Structure 1
Amino acid sequence: MPVARLPSFALNHMVAPSLRSDAFFALCRKVGVAQAEIRNDLAGNAIMDGTPAVEIGSQARNAGVSLISINALQRFNEWTPAREAEAIALADYAQAAGAAALVLVPVNDGSGRADGERQKNARTALRGLKPILSDRGVVGLVEPLGFAICSLRSKREAADAIADIDGVGAFGLVHDTFHHFLAGEPALFAEMTGLVHISGVADKEVGIDDMRDPHRVLVDEKDRLDNIGQIRALQSAGYAGPLSFEPFSPAVHELDDPARALANSIAFIRARL
């Protein structure tokens, strides 16, 4: 029986959103993680506070951390002049900071979901994004969301859209274990997956249809999403990239010792694999 590869890990700044970027990179190194995702939605941090991209890149390099993505261009599949301008600004920031990719998050408010409409919108946006990202050496990583109201729930639809606009290589997919579980789509598309987001749901009372971001904690033995099974399946299908912790629960954000909690989760995952 083949032995699963031990995975590499990354930290999304959402693990400890109150930490300044330099302290966040120090947290990465404290738990033995050499890859990180920065975000553009944390007040008083990184992009939102106006810190220059070159400074963020320098902080990461000094900590021995590589930046794997900026998370994220929101509503990417609602392609407007304003969205194009936002994409250019984020791609410029990624290039200057040395971030390898820009995560692309679809509209998630119940609009744009009609059959035919959502496929067209995805292709229009990807066509617009392709030269912006390619010219800057930044990969676009599409992250379908599993929520019923999302305009792009299916990784198959995302993969088809990427193929249709000749975007393989310029774009990839994010496999988020939370959203994969909610979407109920069995296909993995490991060969197109550039990043895996991991988080668990431990609350025994919340129904699947009622799971939301605040339920997302670190992965442990109470996990209901079968993170271990998903990771094993992805590895068996050829995925060899990082597993990036992305918990949204206030219970995680308020931890006095996030390093210890993260180390425990890493140890749990490695032991099960």
Structure 2
Amino acid sequence: MPAVQSPSFALNHMVAPSLRAEAFFALCRKVGAAQAEIRNDLAGNAIMDGTPAAEIGSQARDAGVSLISINALQRFNEWTPAREAEAIELADYAQAAGAAALVLVPVNDGSGQADGERQKNVRAALLALRPILSDRGVLGLVEPLGFTICSLRSKREAAEAIAEIDGVSAFGLVHDTFHHRLAGEPALFAEMTGLVHISGVTDEEVAVDDMRDPHRVLVDDKDRLDNVGQIRALRSASYAGPFSFEPFSPAVHELDDPARALANSIAFIRARL
């Protein structure tokens, strides 16, 4: 019987947002993560500080790190001329940096939630995005959010929209273990998943519906989201891509030794798989 391949891990720049890109890529290599996600929402870093895409790509390659994605085009399903211009700019940056994908995050402010409206908005945005991304060889990764105010909570709705616009070659899904737990949607859609974000919640006091990004820490034995179970289920369903750490908690961002904490979390997950 063939041995089960060990899961591969990646780092989202949110693990250590104060690190400059070059130091972030060095952190990736230090913990054995050969893949990384850069972000367009970190002040004084990567995209926001005007660093050319070619320079970011070169720094990643020099560190032996491949770029999974740029995270993210926000409010992608609210398609406007401004959103189109932003999408083009980010897709151009991804292409020039050598990033494989652009993460697509839906409106998350309580608007656009009506049945019929939200499905229509997703399809319209995907149709407009498809040539922008395909012309540049960049994959679009739709990330439904589990928050009750989100306009796209369901991966099923995202998967159906992708299929209905004949977009399977241009788009995939992000499975986020935090948002999967909040959404309460059991289906995995592993065959359409291009990336998995992992983070844990250990606060015993917060109710699931009240969980927010600042609660998201590294995965350990106190995790309430069942990251290990989700990872096991995804791998059993033939997902073979990376599991990218994306903690938003200030407690993680302020760690003196993020490499040690990440290595401990990776070891914990591997030991339980």
Q: TM-score, normalised by structure 1?
A: 0.99
Cα deviation, residue 122, structure 1:
0.1
2:133 match: 133
Q: Which whole-Å CA distance do the structure 1 matches of 2:237 and 2:18 have between them? A: 36
Mapping of 1:193-272 within 5 angstroms? 193-272=193-272
Q: Match of 1:33, as an amino acid? A: A
Cα deviation, residue 3, structure 1:
6.6
| 3-state SS, counterpart of residue 124 of structure 1 | helix
CA contact (8 A) 1:37 1:67 kept: yes
| Count of aligned pairs | 273
| 3-state SS, counterpart of residue 110 of structure 1 | coil
What does the per-residue CA deviation read over 1:179-203, in whole Å, with 9 as the maximum and x for residues that have no partner?
0000000000000000000000000
Q: Which whole-Å CA distance do the structure 1 matches of 2:235 and 2:68 have between them? A: 19
Unaligned runs of 5+ residues in structure 1 are none
Q: Which whole-Å CA distance do the structure 2 matches of 1:128 and 1:4 have between them? A: 40
CA contact (8 A) 1:10 1:242 kept: yes
Q: Which whole-Å CA distance do the structure 1 matches of 2:222 and 2:4 have between them? A: 22
What does the per-residue CA deviation read over 1:227-251, in whole Å, with 9 as the maximum and x for residues that have no partner?
0000010001010000000000000
1:175 match: 175
1:42 match: 42
**4+ runs deviating over 6 angstroms:** none
Q: Which whole-Å CA distance do the structure 2 matches of 1:170 and 1:74 have between them? A: 18
| 3-state SS, counterpart of residue 147 of structure 2 | coil
2:163 match: 163
Q: Which whole-Å CA distance do the structure 1 matches of 2:209 and 2:13 have between them? A: 26
1:146 match: 146
The reply on whether 1:33 has 2:42 as its aligned counterpart is no
Cα deviation, residue 169, structure 1:
1.6
Q: Which whole-Å CA distance do the structure 2 matches of 1:103 and 1:146 have between them? A: 16
What does the per-residue CA deviation read over 1:39-95, in whole Å, with 9 as the maximum and x for residues that have no partner?
000000000000000000000000000000000000000000000000000000000
CA contact (8 A) 1:200 1:219 kept: yes
1:111 match: 111
Q: Which whole-Å CA distance do the structure 2 matches of 1:254 and 1:169 have between them? A: 39
Q: Match of 1:146, as an amino acid? A: G
What does the per-residue CA deviation read over 1:139-179, in whole Å, with 9 as the maximum and x for residues that have no partner?
00000000000000000000000001000020000000000
Q: Which whole-Å CA distance do the structure 2 matches of 1:255 and 1:62 have between them? A: 26
CA contact (8 A) 1:102 1:139 kept: yes
Cα deviation, residue 6, structure 1:
1.4
The reply on whether 1:15 has 2:22 as its aligned counterpart is no
2:120 match: 120
2:78 match: 78
Unaligned runs of 5+ residues in structure 2 are none
Q: Which whole-Å CA distance do the structure 1 matches of 2:206 and 2:226 have between them? A: 16
Cα deviation, residue 5, structure 1:
3.4
Q: Which whole-Å CA distance do the structure 2 matches of 1:60 and 1:32 have between them? A: 14
Cα deviation, residue 4, structure 1:
4.9
Q: Match of 2:32, as an amino acid? A: G
Q: Which whole-Å CA distance do the structure 2 matches of 1:80 and 1:255 have between them? A: 39
1:63 match: 63
Q: TM-score, normalised by structure 2?
A: 0.99
Q: Which whole-Å CA distance do the structure 2 matches of 1:261 and 1:80 have between them? A: 41
CA RMSD, 1 decimal: 1.0
What does the per-residue CA deviation read over 1:83-131, in whole Å, with 9 as the maximum and x for residues that have no partner?
0000000000000000000000000000000000000000000000000
| 3-state SS, counterpart of residue 247 of structure 2 | coil
| 3-state SS, counterpart of residue 270 of structure 2 | helix
